[in-house]
Each structure stands twice: as structure tokens, then as C-alpha cells.
Amino acid sequence: MTLSTETSQLAIVTGASSGIGKATAQRLAADGFHVLAGVRKQSDADKIACVNIEPVILDVTDQTHIDNLVARVASDPKKRPLRTLVNNAGVAVNAPIEVLTLDDWRYQFDVSVFGQIALTRALLPALLASKGRIINITSVGGRVAMANFGAYSAAKFAMEAVSDSLRREVEEFGVTVVKVTPGAVSTNLTDSGLATAARITATMTPDQHTRYDELTKAFIAQAEGFARDGVTPEHAAGVISRAVTARKPKTRYTIGTDAALVNRMARIATDRFLDGTLRRQNRKLAKSAR
């Protein structure tokens, strides 16, 4: 679709400063939407602003930011309806459950669950009025919970449940809820996740190091593999664009062959089969990191 300064519908993308969010904002702008791109810093807003992309300062854990965005949608100067909300903002807090503090858990859930719910609730009246679409970016971690991913997977499993419940509540009123499940994607979330993991593991006791150092090596090797071999954010944005624009969207889209495989395994594999498979994978990854 040819980019035009004349758009008839609004789209909101959270977490748009980099990675999947930024690529999605750019893709939806090219599709002809006027995109309200949620970023947390003015410097990021300055970088992403362009034709059909209007940056908005948005921390999904800040109710004032949410209220400001709702007011922006309601007072759109061209009276454009809100067509879609892409809930992409999130963080990755990865460490063994024994090591994570309750503050770590609260941070993961505040951003990746409660913030998503707060924003969705606030914008639902506008989406109901337009019979719009909600796209929740989940993860393979919300289908299979790997060791060292307890908090992150718990948040993503929660958003799986929220998405299913919301879809069954509002579909009859014309609002469509779609889950988009990425596998390995090369994004800045990998770097921030590694930095967070390093901060947390630095607090481990000697006994905890004995128990979990091999697991930490495996996690680092896996994260580096994601950054090296994962699909591009632009590829992910193309899948999200299909979820936004399809006349009859599926309830779930996967991004990457690994996500499709994990999605199938989650449906058919036993817990013990997955335990063994993931344990062998971690041993292999830890060995490769030495």
C-alpha cells in the first residue's frame, strides 16, 4: 500500500522505541494507519516520528500516561476511529525462581500483565465503538515454561489466559482479540534481558551458584543465539500486519518456525517429555558456552 498522509483509522502500538514495536509501527504506517507509537523517552519519540507515526510518551504502568492516550484518541482532530491496539510493551526478568525477589516478580507483572490490562480496559470503549481489534504479543514462553524463565513465562501464560477470556467476552460485540506468538526474534529485549539476568545472578549465594551456574550459561548461550539467528523485527511486523488487516483473522499467529514447533509441542507433548527435551537442550547449550 502506498504511504499517504491521509489516513482514516488509528492504530496504537506500545513498546515502539525499538525491535518488534518499532518495526510494527513503521509497517502499520505503511499500511495506511495513523500510528500512535508508545515510547517511554523523548529521545525515542524524536527518532520514530515521521509521516503517519505520531509518538506518544507511554509507560503502561503509569495511569496518567494511559489517561492522556485515551484523551488523545477521543479528541482526534480528524475524528478517526481507533482500529487496533497492539500490546507489545514488555520486559524480560530471567533467573531461577529461588533467586528472584518478589520485587522482580512484581516488575515483570506490572509491565507485562497489569500494564497491558490497564491500557486495554481504558481503550476498550473506543474499540467497542469501532468494532476494532486487539493484538496481544505473547511468546513461546507462554506456551512452554523453560527453566530460568519462570517470571517471564508466568506473565506470558497470564496474557494467554487474559487474551482467551477477553476474546470470549467481546467477540460478540465486534471486537476481535488475536494472539501473536514470537519465537526467536533479534531485538533489544535480548540485550536488556541479559543485563537484567546479570544483575540478578550477581546476588546469588555460593550455594545458588553451585546449583544454577550451568543453567545461567545455557540461558546466555540461548539468548545470544536468539540475537544471532532469530528472525528480524521486520519479519515479525509483517505477521502482526496480517493479524491487524486480515478480514477473518485467526485467533493465533506464530512468528518463526521455532514458535510454530513449540506451539504444536505444547498441545501434544507430555510434561516428562518436555522436561527431558529441555534438560538435554540446556546441557548442550551450557557445554557450547564453555
User: What are the catalytic residues?
Assistant: 152
Alpha helices in 77-205 (DSSP H): 102-109, 115-130, 150-170, 188-201
C-alpha cell at 102: 518478589
Report, in angstroms and rounded to the nearest whole number, the Rg of the chain calculated over CA atoms.
19
Q: Which of 237, 14, 199, 235 is nearest to 92 (CA)?
A: 199
C-alpha cell at 68: 492522556
Which residue has 551456574 as its cell numbers? 213
Q: Which of 278, 225, 283 is nearest to 256 (CA)?
A: 225
Task: Bin 10: left if φ > 0, else alpha if -120 < ψ < 50, else beta.
Answer: beta
